[in-house]
C-alpha cells in the first residue's frame, strides 16, 4: 500500500543520497497493486513515455463529494515508482483539487527533474498532462 503523498515528500527530505532516493522510488513502485488486463489497455496507455505506462482515472461517488480513483502501472522499475508518485498525489482528491495540483512541480520539488534523464522527465510530464486532461473530462461529465 502506498503511503500518503505527504509522507513520501517527508521521506525524501530525510534521504540525502541519490542512490537511496532511487531505491525509494523503486520501492514505491513495488507498493503499487499489480496492473490487471483492464489497466493494460491501449486507452489507458500514456503516450510520450519511453517505457510502457498505463494510467486509469475514475470517480468514486461513494462519498458526498466524488473523489478520484487512480490506478497505474509501468513495465520499468523506476518508472513504476514515478507512476506511484502520481497515484499517491492524485488518488482520493476531488476533481477540483486535482485540477489545481501541479504534478510536475512536485517532481521538481523532490529533485527528480535534475537527477533523472530528460527522457524520463518528458515521461513524467506526459503522465501529468494525461492526468490533467482526464480530470478535466471527469469534471465535465
Return the SS3 of 92.
coil
CA dihedral (61, 42, 77, 82) positive or negative = negative
**136-139, Cβ contacts within 8 angstroms, sequence gap of 24 or more:** 136/99, 138/57, 138/58, 138/59, 138/68, 138/95, 139/95, 139/96, 139/99
Decide if 49 is catalytic. yes
Query: How would DSSP label each residue in 24-71?
Result: HHHHHHHHSPPP-TTTSSGGGBPTT-SS-EEEEEEEETTSSS-EEEEE
The answer to whether residue 140 scores a pLDDT higher than 80 is: no
The answer to whether residue 35 scores a pLDDT higher than 90 is: no
Name the catalytic one among 5, 8, 25, 49: 49
Dihedral pair phi/psi, residue 54, rounded to 5°: -130, 135
**104-107, Cβ contacts within 8 angstroms, sequence gap of 24 or more:** 104/128, 106/5, 106/9, 107/82
Identify whether the C-beta of residue 102 lies closer than 8 Å to the C-beta of residue 25: no
CA dihedral (30, 36, 38, 40) positive or negative = positive
**pLDDT tens for residues 9-25?**
999 999 989 999 999 99
Give the pTM: 0.94
Q: Which domains, and CATH codes, for the chain?
A: 5-140 (3.90.1010.10)
**pLDDT tens for residues 114-132?**
888 888 888 899 999 999 9
Amino acid at each position: 500500500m502506498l503511503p500518503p503523498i505527504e509522507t513520501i515528500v517527508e521521506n525524501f527530505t530525510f534521504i540525502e543520497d541519490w542512490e537511496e532516493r532511487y531505491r525509494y522510488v523503486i520501492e514505491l513502485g513495488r507498493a503499487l497493486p499489480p496492473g490487471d488486463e483492464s489497466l493494460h489497455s491501449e486507452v489507458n496507455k500514456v503516450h510520450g513515455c519511453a517505457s510502457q505506462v498505463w494510467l486509469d482515472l475514475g470517480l468514486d461517488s461513494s462519498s458526498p463529494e466524488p473523489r478520484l480513483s487512480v490506478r497505474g502501472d509501468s513495465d520499468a522499475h523506476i518508472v513504476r515508482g514515478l507512476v506511484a508518485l502520481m497515484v499517491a498525489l492524485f488518488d482520493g482528491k476531488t476533481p477540483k483539487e486535482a485540477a489545481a495540483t501541479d504534478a510536475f512541480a512536485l517532481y521538481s520539488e523532490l529533485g527528480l527533474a535534475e537527477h533523472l534523464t530528460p527522457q524520463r522527465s518528458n515521461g513524467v510530464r506526459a503522465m501529468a498532462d494525461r492526468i490533467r486532461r482526464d480530470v478535466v473530462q471527469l469534471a465535465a461529465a
